């Protein structure tokens, strides 16, 4: 839930072009644009935060009362809050008002007081593009802080920030470590003093923090680097604390963040990009080697199988020679009839690495697997989605033509082109394809224009450069994008935000790589 929903919601809601969970619908075009990660993922995250705050027993007691009272009838948001308030004794409506009716969420900045027994916390609106302006920073959220320390890991429900800033008792000088947002159920980012980050990193390395907290710490560090509230070098240093990590969901978050770094740094020199790949290998190659290609036992946990696939893909994409060689061996053995070369978990990763490092032979084999209707549908789509990892310009052009052919269903076009957005040269060709086929795409998806939003996000979201954002904006300004304008705004904002991140921390990353043996 944290990696698939909360972090996705936080990512989108960090944009100026986001929207509240509760938003008025004034025209039909608004409907398809608001059912996104905010309505679903932030909405679900807000419910989880509320449930954690008032207690699960009170939450479900209130839900039962709400359903019973309004069965066979209509109900409003306030009816739900009233039921939960009565069950918990907490003014839920007041608690939830800012979370559902206001755009965005806060960054909580922690300052340790000189007395060694207290911290001051300050809330401001968090934006991935940087510091919010005064007019953007008017909301004061009701924030359950969930403070825990090494000595007392029980969340204290009384710790709630209800104003711009406040002071709380925390034994800073005597506690081995302290942390806010226990279990990462709160919808906010946390910025700690440098000394506190060191202590938290040590706690992670020693296995003292739970899975959810480990996800939250690395996600916050990466996000604060993007926005400029901290540096990318701080995030890279924190990664070291995860060397012994074993949980799939934590590695998923790490992979998401390192993939983002490699994607944004795509305009760097080949030398620096190789150093970033080397960094990625230090993270994922040992994991891939430890897990191997085969299950250790017949009853292996399915999450281990998914972690194996993640490690193989990440190590292979970052240039691990052993992983690439074994992937190629298994890929060709698979198409020679040895279907045991890949299992359901490693097939997608194996196809991706083989196509990425291969040529026409690997591309055509993966394509043929997609076209064979005898194969399971999910594996067919896995093959289709990996075709875009090719680096051959001729194959890219063939894929773009293939994506609009009768061989690919209308609802699967995004599967065919998504991977193209990850490669520097392929991004340009994909954007050109989108422009050339814009009228055709509009005609095809006229009944579901939200899909046009998905296509514009894929075709533009990976770019770096203010000039590219301006070019995209000029093109789309000549089109009727009213039914997916919110996605257009979000894509443009993401390009500009990532460009600012790259320009801000380009030298910082170079220095960190040099100082850490890369």
Q: What are the pLDDT digits (tens) for 322-354?
A: 999 999 999 999 999 999 999 999 999 999 999
Which pLDDT score, from 0 to 100, does residue 157 have? 59
Which whole number is the average pLDDT over 307-320? 97
Record the pTM: 0.94
- DSSP letter, residue 516: T
* CB neighbourhood size of 102 (10 A): 16
Taking 80 as the threshold, does the pLDDT of residue 251 lie above it? Answer: yes
Instruction: Give phi and psi for 387, each to the nearest 5.
Output: -65, -30
Taking 60 as the threshold, does the pLDDT of residue 155 lie above it? Answer: no
- Residue 43: how many CA atoms within 13 Å on its side-chain side? 13
Q: Render pLDDT for 63-94 as a digit per residue (tens, 0 to 9).
A: 999 999 999 999 999 999 999 999 999 999 99
- DSSP letter, residue 407: T
Which pLDDT score, from 0 to 100, does residue 291 have? 96
Q: Which of 358, 347, 357 is nearest to 384 (CA)?
A: 347
Q: Which of 1, 79, 8, 64 is nearest to 39 (CA)?
A: 8
* CB neighbourhood size of 290 (10 A): 10
Taking 70 as the threshold, does the pLDDT of residue 154 lie above it? Answer: no
Q: Render pLDDT for 207-228 as a digit per residue (tens, 0 to 9).
A: 999 999 999 999 999 999 999 9
Tell me whether strands 106-112 and 189-191 are parallel, antiparallel or unpaired.
parallel
As a whole number of angstroms, the distance between CA 487 and CA 17 comes to 8
CA dihedral sign of residues 514, 515, 517, 518: negative
460 within 8 A of 472, measured Cβ to Cβ: yes
DSSP string, 287-353: HHHHH-SS-SSTT--HHHHHHHHHHHHHHHHTT-HHHHHHHHHHHHHHHTT-GGGS-TTHHHHHHHH
Q: Which of 206, 265, 271 is nearest to 235 (CA)?
A: 265
In the beta sheet, which residues pair with residue 106? Answer: 125
Average pLDDT value over all residues in the chain: 94
Which whole number is the average pLDDT over 10-38? 85
Which whole number is the average pLDDT over 179-184? 95
Q: Render pLDDT for 457-499 as a digit per residue (tens, 0 to 9).
A: 999 989 999 999 999 999 999 999 998 999 999 999 999 999 9
Q: Which of 302, 303, 319 is nearest to 246 (CA)?
A: 303
Alpha-carbon distances of 39 from 9, 33, 100, 179, 497, rounded to whole Å: 9, 10, 9, 29, 23
Percent of the chain having pLDDT more than 70? Answer: 99
Which pLDDT score, from 0 to 100, does residue 450 have? 86
Which pLDDT score, from 0 to 100, does residue 23 have? 83
Q: Choose between 34 and 448: higher pLDDT.
A: 448
- Residue 126: how many CA atoms within 13 Å on its side-chain side? 29
Alpha-carbon distances of 198 from 150, 179, 512, rounded to whole Å: 14, 12, 17
Which pLDDT score, from 0 to 100, does residue 447 have? 87
* CB neighbourhood size of 487 (10 A): 23
Question: Which single residue is written with the structure tokens 């063939």?
Answer: 398
pLDDT band at residue 156 using 50, 70 and 90 as cut-offs? low
The region of weakest confidence among 26-35, 275-284, 437-446 is: 26-35
């Amino acid at each position: 839930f944290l990696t698939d929903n909360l972090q996705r919601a936080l990512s989108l809601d960090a944009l100026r072009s986001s929207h509240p969970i509760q938003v008025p619908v004034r025209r039909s075009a608004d409907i398809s644009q608001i059912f996104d990660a905010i309505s679903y993922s932030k909405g679900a995250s807000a419910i989880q935060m509320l449930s954690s705050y008032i207690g699960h027993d009170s939450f479900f007691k209130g839900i039962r009362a709400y359903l019973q009272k309004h069965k066979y009838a209509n109900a409003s948001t306030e009816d739900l809050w009233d039921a939960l308030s009565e069950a918990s004794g907490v003014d839920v409506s007041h608690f939830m008002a800012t979370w559902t009716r206001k755009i965005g969420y806060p960054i909580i900045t922690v300052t340790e007081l000189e007395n060694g027994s207290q911290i001051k916390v300050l809330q401001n609106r968090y934006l991935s593009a940087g510091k919010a302006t005064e007019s953007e920073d008017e909301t004061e959220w009701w924030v359950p802080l969930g403070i825990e320390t090494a000595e007392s890991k029980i969340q204290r429900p009384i710790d709630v920030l209800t104003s711009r800033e406040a002071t709380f008792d925390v034994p800073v000088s005597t506690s081995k470590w302290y942390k806010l947002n226990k279990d990462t159920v709160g919808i906010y980012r946390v910025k700690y003093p440098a000394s506190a980050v060191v202590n938290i990193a040590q706690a992670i390395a020693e296995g003292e923090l739970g899975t959810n907290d480990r996800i939250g710490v690395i996600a916050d560090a990466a996000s604060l680097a993007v926005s400029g509230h901290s540096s990318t070098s701080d995030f890279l240093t924190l990664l070291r604390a995860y060397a012994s990590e074993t949980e799939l969901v934590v590695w998923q978050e790490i992979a998401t963040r390192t993939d983002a770094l490699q994607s944004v740094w795509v305009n760097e020199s080949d030398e620096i990009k190789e150093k970033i790949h080397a960094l990625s290998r230090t993270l994922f190659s040992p994991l891939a080697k430890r897990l191997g290609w085969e299950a250790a036992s017949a009853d292996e946990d399915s999450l281990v199988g998914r972690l194996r696939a993640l490690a193989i893909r990440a190590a292979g994409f970052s240039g691990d020679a052993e992983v690439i060689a074994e992937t190629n061996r298994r890929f060709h053995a698979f198409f020679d009839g040895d279907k045991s070369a890949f299992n359901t978990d490693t097939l997608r990763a194996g196809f991706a690495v083989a196509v990425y490092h291969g040529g026409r032979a690997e591309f055509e084999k993966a394509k043929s697997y997609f076209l064979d209707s005898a194969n399971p549908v999910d594996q067919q789509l896995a093959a289709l989605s990996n075709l875009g990892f090719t680096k051959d310009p001729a194959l890219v052009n063939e894929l773009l033509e293939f994506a609009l052919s009768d061989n690919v269903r209308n609802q699967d076009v995004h599967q065919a082109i998504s991977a193209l957005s990850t490669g520097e040269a392929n991004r340009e060709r994909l954007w050109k394809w989108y422009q050339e086929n814009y009228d055709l795409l509009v005609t095809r998806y006229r009944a579901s224009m939200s899909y046009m939003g998905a296509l514009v996000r894929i075709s533009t979201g990976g770019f770096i450069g203010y000039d590219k954002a301006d070019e995209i904006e000029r093109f789309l300004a000549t089109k009727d994008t009213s039914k997916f304008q919110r996605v257009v705004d979000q894509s443009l904002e993401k390009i500009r935000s990532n460009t600012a991140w790259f320009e801000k921390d380009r030298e910082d990353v170079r220095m960190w790589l040099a100082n850490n043996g890369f």
